[in-house]
Structure 1
């Protein structure tokens, strides 16, 4: 009769990887050396960085930067959905207009578009609503009064971003199986209802990751509005550095705030990706909070192991 004992178990020994630890130590050493050299640089006035990090002018620039980013992204996303639907339409006029819009705004630099909107008053002194080729005017206003630097910046960033975002939305829509559309039509759903309730929710899994990157890009592109004197974060820092001649220190302040804002804006993107990716995988990876909880739970003492026993296999005749 064979006897099965725990002493016969095979002890699995993990494979040793010395180069992994050596490479990790080298990278850590390089990072520490870089931080040390940067922190002890005599040409950097670190007290100035701390002084202006929470300066009221810098904080007002941070608030305006976030306002421009959120307004531009919300409006451009709505416009992108419309443009993507036009590109996918069987109507050649709608498809052609949408193609021309994307071609024009993606083909020119965003900085050029910002300057053009800022100098719109040089092309049109007044914006008038009336009957063409007659003296009948219903409404008229000075262009510079209506298109302020802030409005010009919002228009430029929104329209430019909508061209890029529309292609992202269109790619997400194309990724949805055509059978979904056919099934919706067979149930009597209209094309608009099918787009809004069937196709778009499934396409969000493909749309959200690149749209999150576009949100970060939008946040950083707000610094380009300094060319038309919009008082966002970078413009405020430039005005301060022009007075105290601490350009590098103010650039560090700006970089710290941009890093903080991008980190905060990455959090909702992460959870949105998890939400819309639920149907693509059976087990979602744990969130950072879940990982921390699991780490603490693993350190708690568990129940005492059961005493080892030997099992004898009895073979009948």
Structure 2
């Protein structure tokens, strides 16, 4: 029986020797961080590396530079469609810049969020991207004081680097659309009071009502969670038979809330788009595929993700807070009052 030959990995030195170049020249030719050199020497080195089956150890290389080219992303939960979409965009944007993104979930508890952040930092990530959303969150302040590179997405505390949609403008666009259709009896279902998204979208809705000279019915300004069940409960409260008058239109501060309102409307024999107009927020893919397609405010997640990566990898951005313009997407769920 022939002796087994151990599978010895090909090293950078092997590639350099086989290519007839120095170790540093081989390293530069195989460095994937920038635009690859098109010189004949670099092309030869890459061809030899491929023939030998060389695989660059990027992790070890980056550790020598004090980097891992890895970014940690912290989200409340990946069962939330917007959070999942946001992470996918961050992952794509990171990859295009030569980084790898890993995700951790934290729920809504600040202590759990801090533990999740520390877990990511223990993995020696080069920076943190936070999609968590509490206004009273001390984590960004802690990261600033500890000089940890970070950026907030879909939210801002007004201090840490942030990339988000302009939620106040989005709330304004949603309610302005209903007002332009002729509605005045408009209810608003916002997210939790501890979220910057919920408070900003409500502020935009109130501004639109005020500009139109419509008196706000405070009983129709409801704060809820961001799930479908929360939207259903809020819809039941607004549409219960004993209440009079009832709203002819509802702005729900995310699409899950809007879908919950749709379910409540059905129980009260109301037809969305006819008896009751409805506008959601975020324009998740399901919105256009509902039995009554949902009018929604679209947020440019791709731009937000790209900017968040820039805020971390380019120190010249400083403490920039960048807001991107949302867009109203009208569909069948919003119609004129009967």
TM beyond 0.5: no
Q: Which has the higher helix share?
A: 1
Structure having the larger proportion of residues in strand: 2
* Pair member with larger Rg: 1
Please indicate the TM-score interval, normalised by the length of the shorter structure: under 0.3
Give the number of the structure with larger relative contact order, counting CA–CA contacts within 8 Å between residues 6 or more apart: 1
